Chain A
Amino acid sequence: KQEVTQIPAALSVPEGENLVLNCSFTDSAIYNLQWFRQDPGKGLTSLLLIQSSQREQTSGRLNASLDKSSGRSTLYIAASQPGDSATYLCAVRGSGNTPLVFGKGTRLSVIA
């Protein structure tokens, strides 16, 4: 059974810092991996999706990498801003159109 772990569980950084969020998964036979952002009391917003054949995806100040063989993904946030404060979730989809498996998330606070 696929398990997704995110480290750290919570992170507090000063504004302007570059930071890395980590995600690991136990079964490397994945179809894709997706990073989401969740604001308090809200639903999830998709940030980046990486197919199993890709190594990384970029969107603005966000860069996500995927090392499928080692079961790891990182989300890099450059020049963090207070508006980046949220919980960031990693989710993987296995082959055969199986539903996503989510990690518990990393709660990020960016202090002005």
Chain B
Amino acid sequence: EADIYQTPRYLVIGTGKKITLECSQTMGHDKMYWYQQDPGMELHLIHYSYGVNSTEKGDLSSESTVSRIRTEHFPLTLESARPSHTSQYLCASSELGRSSGNTIYFGEGSWLTVV
């Protein structure tokens, strides 16, 4: 079973508020990811990291930012939330090397609603 945790699971906030979605994993994985998924739609990669102090933007342009100060922690921040940011945000992690085949493990997701 995967040991990757996301908080909060559900959040409703007002437009213009700052929000940080937390993601932690206890598997010692180097690679971590944030995906955005609207209901019934595909996952879009918005940010990823290969390790501490490494962050990259994904395929989908996002107004969010991420940081990777510790291996186990990969928070995502929206400085000024808008209704268009309403979505499910999924955090994931995997090992960097090839020994495990790079199986990716997902958290339960954070449902964000901006009103």
Which residues does A use to contact B, with CB under 8 Å? 31-32, 34, 36, 41-46, 49, 51, 89, 91, 93, 97, 99-100, 102-105, 107
Q: A49-B101, A51-B101, A97-B96 are in contact. Are A43 and B107 (CB under 8 A)?
A: yes
A79 to B96 Cα, complex, angstroms: 36
A32 to B100, CA, bound (A): 11
Residue of A32, A36, A41, A43 with most partner-chain B CB within 10 A: A43
Point out the residues of chain B lying under 8 angstroms from A49, CB to CB.
101-103
Q: Is B106 an interface residue (CB 8 A)?
A: yes
A45 engages B106 (CB within 8 Å): yes
Supply 12 A–B pairs (Cβ within 8 Å), ascending by A: A31-B102, A41-B111, A42-B109, A43-B92, A43-B108, A89-B43, A93-B102, A97-B31, A97-B102, A99-B33, A102-B43, A104-B42
Contacts A43-B6, A46-B103 known; 4 new A-B pairs at CB < 8 A: A31-B102, A49-B102, A93-B102, A97-B50
The residue from A31, A103, A107 contacting B42, defined by CB atoms under 8 A apart: A103
Is there an interface contact between B109 and A99, defined as CB atoms closer than 8 Å?
no
A34 touches B108 (CB 8 A): no
- Please, which residues of chain B bring their CB within 8 A of the CB of A43? 6, 90, 92, 106-109
Taking the closest CB of chain B, its distance from the CB of A42, in whole angstroms, is: 6
Most buried by A among B33, B41, B92: B92
Proximity string of chain B (72-115) to chain A, C-beta cutoff 8 Å, 1 when within and 0 when not: 00000000000000001010100010000111111111010000
Bound-state Cα–Cα, A34 to B106, Å: 13
Q: Is the CB of A44 within 8 A of B42?
A: no
Cβ of B66 under 8 Å from chain A: no
Counting chain A CB atoms within 10 Å of each CB, which of B102, B105, B108, B109 scores highest?
Answer: B102
Q: State the CA gap A49–B102 with chains docked (Å).
A: 9
Output the nearest chain B residue to A9 by Cβ-Cβ distance: B40
- Chain B min CB distance to A86 (Å): 13
Residues of A within 8 Å of B45, CB to CB, are 99-100
Q: Considering the chains assembled together, what is the distance between the CA atoms of A51 and B90 in angstroms?
A: 24
CB closest residue in chain A, given B90: A43
For the complex, give the distance between the alpha carbons of A36 and B106 in Å.
10
